[in-house]
Structure 1
């Protein structure tokens, strides 16, 4: 996995729009529109996936009929496929056919360019609380961070900081649902299920992209 050794940017947190108990406010809800949030996988559900080498290491992108249901990072494609099967035990997994590969290719390419495709349909599966957290993570701009406490406050669950951290750890869609942008209250990097070094590298690269975008 490629890493970057220049100093880590401390990116200031821009306040999120407050979310109600029913979900996030429009900026967040707009990202979730059409995402097809489902509570459980269907028996024998077909899920296509593709793996590729990226600057973050190996990336596996999986897609159901509703949308992207997983982006997993690691070093071993076979281990990533096994993790996908554990996440969707009743699914029939298929290494990508040409149609699936065509749809997934822009996502894999975006990990190197930082330019995410517009209106990517997501199929996020988890509890109602997890989905509230995940939708609000998508409202943190690239180049900025929020603390677990910030997220808890903005979903009106100020006593659920630990549950927010657990929801971040359970996030199945790396990068697109940017749990890597959540840090400790003092800015310290906390655990990242795909490795703290990947988290640091993502934050540094996003800060650099944001700086370039803001430069006249």
Structure 2
């Protein structure tokens, strides 16, 4: 069992039993570690203790974030106007595949891809000359299957493996803002006009905040389109860069996630626990 798999299992256990605040020894035993080793591993992963995590793991947190209507869709993307700790949220430029590229199935497009270990598990990244076209969690599938899915989306593209060419995306996701030296990240993704509109709306949800499917539908001017919004959220091709993990059900329940509910919860809390104070 990898370190992330142990953490994921622990997160799920703590979430399911949060109402009774399980002791450190109990959670450690659940993932077959001593309390000392589990505490150390958890702190390395989350930057905080299991006890603090449990204190944050409440339905009230989700409810408070859902009530914060004003900041969900109005906040600026500009890094000069925000004190967000995650630089990539404000330096992501979304560019859709052109009709010609869609018809040509990526003919002549050079695509470099790579597999990278991260605190949230193995991630697969693919980039073109115009930007990032795929980011997903890949540790629950074989490499051949993941690459095959990429090839099915770009059947005439020229694929080549290069972790060196894709590593900058992982740096953007997990490095400190002060350490990020590149300019804005560009996304090169394929989607319908409605999907693109939903993905742009997701980019306006601040790190550490959550929105419901119905809130996004209302913000887009389609108050009865919650189901369609959910489908668009689920079709997001670039995990974390377009933050579909910040969308939950109106009740406060997690809702769906392509890579599983446990992973969604892990991403949410990783993001929450790694926020830095806003700039004054």
Say whether 1:192 aligns with 2:262: no
Q: Is the aligned partner of 1:101 residue 2:164? A: yes
1:213 paired to 2:277 = yes
Q: Which moved more, 1:145-154 or 1:36-45?
A: 36-45
- Alpha-carbon displacement from aligned partner over 1:110-141 (angstroms, at most 9, x marks no partner): 44446576510111210000000001101111
Distance 1:55 1:61 in 2: 15
Q: How many residues were matched structurally?
A: 203
CA distance in 1, matches of 2:263, 2:171: 17
8 Å CA contact 1:152–1:164 kept in 2: the answer is yes
Displacement of 1:26 in angstroms is 6.5
SS at match of 2:117: strand
* 1:38 match: 97
The within-5 A match list for 1:50-89 is 50-75=114-139, 76-89=142-155
Q: CA deviation at 1:214?
A: 5.3
Tell me the TM-score normalized by structure 1: 0.82
Quote the offset at 1:27 in angstroms.
3.7
- Asked if the contact 2:92/2:185 (under 8 Å) is kept, the reply is no
Which residue in 1 is equivalent to 2:246? 181
For 1:187 and 1:139, the matched residues in 2 are separated by 19
Tell me which structure has the larger Cα radius of gyration.
2
- For the 8 Å contact 1:58–1:77, the answer to whether it is kept is no
Cα distance in 2 between the residues matched to 1:195 and 1:114: 26
How high is the TM-score relative to the length of structure 2?
A: 0.64
Please report how far the alpha carbon of residue 199 of structure 1 lies from its aligned counterpart in structure 2 after TM superposition. Answer: 0.4
In 1, Cα distance between the equivalents of 2:148 and 2:211? 31
Match in the other structure for 1:22: none
- Deviation of the 1:78 alpha carbon: 2.8
Query: Against the structure 1 CA distance between its residues 26 and 140, is the aligned structure 2 distance closer, same or farther, given a 3 Å change threshold?
Result: closer
Contiguous gaps of at least 5 residues in structure 1: 19-24
- Residue of structure 2 in register with 1:203 after alignment: 268
Root-mean-square deviation (Å): 2.7
CA distance 1:17–1:131, shift in 2 (3 Å): same
d(CA) in 2 for partners of 1:158, 1:114: 37
Partners of 1:66 and 1:146 in 2: CA distance: 29
Secondary structure class of the residue paired with 2:111:
strand
Of Structure 1 and Structure 2, which has the larger fraction of its residues in helix? 2
Query: Is contact 2:106–2:155 with CA below 8 Å preserved after alignment?
Result: no
Contact 1:44 1:90 in 2 (8 A): yes
Spell out the pairing of 1:125-136 with structure 2 (5 A cutoff): 125-136=190-201
Q: Could you list the runs of 5+ residues in structure 2 that have no partner in the other structure?
A: 12-52, 79-89
- Give the distance between the partners of 1:114 and 1:173, measured in 2 at CA: 20
